Structure 1
Amino acid sequence: MASFFTTALKSFKGNEEEPPKEPPKDGKAATLPNGMAREEFEEYQRQLLEEKIERDKAFAQKKAERATLRMHMRDKYHLPQDERDDAQVHVVGGTVELPQELAAMVHSEEEDEEEEDDGAFAFLTKLREVNLPALRDRTLGSVDEMKEKCVLM
């Protein structure tokens, strides 16, 4: 395609057509960069492929860990699960454990909630601790202050 445009451009200029350049007869020189030997080039390509596979595995593992975290959080807060998270976990191998930092975060939040919500009678136990006569006196005192400040009351 490039030769077509070059030919068309030269015809507009009025130059005589030059025969297209032929690739070098030695095919190795055209495909091997920087004068590498064929074995070196193949080794380099193999290393690149291995590195790409390792990166892809690490990326898939991270995605599965994130999906597992989302699944735990959805389970914790009673939200509907997402099928994409299950699919990401299955791609890696089915069972993915959370990294220690993430697992500590999930468990610490669960413990905080358990401490805050001891059950249905938690409110009643806290209500016992309230000093009702002192609360009544404070309320009446603030009402009296408002009467003094407000002309309408």
Structure 2
Amino acid sequence: MAFLLQQMLGDKLKNMTGGGEAADEAGEGKETAASKGMSREEFEEYQKQLIEEKIARDQEFATKKAERANLRVLLRDKYRLPQSAQDDATVQMAGDDLDIPEELAKMVDEDEEEEEINDSFMGKLQNMDVDFDSIKAKAQSTMTEVKQAAEDKCVMM
């Protein structure tokens, strides 16, 4: 009920008492040197420091964002996934000062070494799931078939 009365009569009461005009003249809710209890020079220094901190935070955020984009680009390269133009643009904007986490770099290097080994002939031989008994049996049956075909066609045997 009090809320309803305040909504209906609040603005009219402020105008009658002059409360609304005083708030407007005081800076409309903005910080001032007087509101912080500082001199004008201290307040300007404080504002400058806030701006510098914000710029540093923004730069750090942009760097982290570019590092994550670089990570996504590397993972897409590794797993042969389609590239993202947005990630490429983010990486290019950041330049060369991107750090790749050591663990990821180590993991990528190990995977590259594994792929090199698997791509070689010996790697392929080691990774083949071959049942030598079945190959031996198939080779023997083929040889017996060839012998029988030769005996049928050749009179000397």
Q: Provide TM-score, normalisation by structure 2.
A: 0.58
Q: Kindly report which structure 2 residues correspond to 1:3-152, keeping only aligned pairs within 5 A, or say none.
A: 9=9, 18-21=16-19, 22-23=21-22, 31-32=32-33, 33-93=35-95, 96-115=98-117, 117-119=118-120, 122-125=123-126, 132=133
Gaps of 5+ in 2: 138-157
Q: Which runs of 5+ in 1 are unaligned?
A: 137-153
Quick one: percent identity of the two aligned structures?
Answer: 44
Query: Would the alpha carbon gap of residues 99 and 9 (structure 1) be closer, same or farther in structure 2, given more than 3 Å must change?
Result: same
- Structure having the higher Rg: 2
Considering fraction of residues, name the structure with more helix.
Answer: 2
The amino acid of 1:74's aligned partner reads: R
Q: CA 1:118/1:44 → structure 2, altered by over 3 Å: closer, same or farther?
A: same
Work out whether residues 71 and 85 of structure 1, in 8 Å CA contact, stay in contact via their aligned partners in 2: yes
Cα separation, 2, equivalents of 1:111 and 1:64: 27
In structure 2, distance between residues paired with 1:37 and 1:19: 31
Q: Letter of the aligned partner of 1:76 in structure 2?
A: K
Label 1:83 to 1:9 Cα distance change in 2 as closer, same or farther (>3 A).
same
CA separation of 1:10/1:81 partners in 2, compared to 1, >3 Å: closer, same or farther?
closer
The superposition leaves residues 21-79 of structure 1 with CA deviations (integer Å, 9 ceiling, x where unpaired) of 3539x969x72223111111111111111111111111111111111111111112221
Distance 1:127 1:73, change over 3 A: closer
Would you identify which runs of 4 or more consecutive aligned residues in structure 1 move more than 4 Å? 5-8, 125-131
RMSD of aligned C-alpha atoms?
3.9
Taking the aligned partners of 1:81 and 1:10, their CA distance within structure 2 comes to 58
Aligned amino acid, residue 85 of structure 1: D
Separation in structure 2 between the aligned mates of residue 71 and residue 110 of structure 1, nearest angstrom = 16
**TM-score normalized by structure 1?**
0.59
Give the letter for the 1:31 counterpart.
T
CA deviation map 1:70-128 (0-9, x unaligned): 1111112221110010121123236634243332232223223434x243664445669
Contact 1:89-1:95 at 8 Å conserved across structures: no
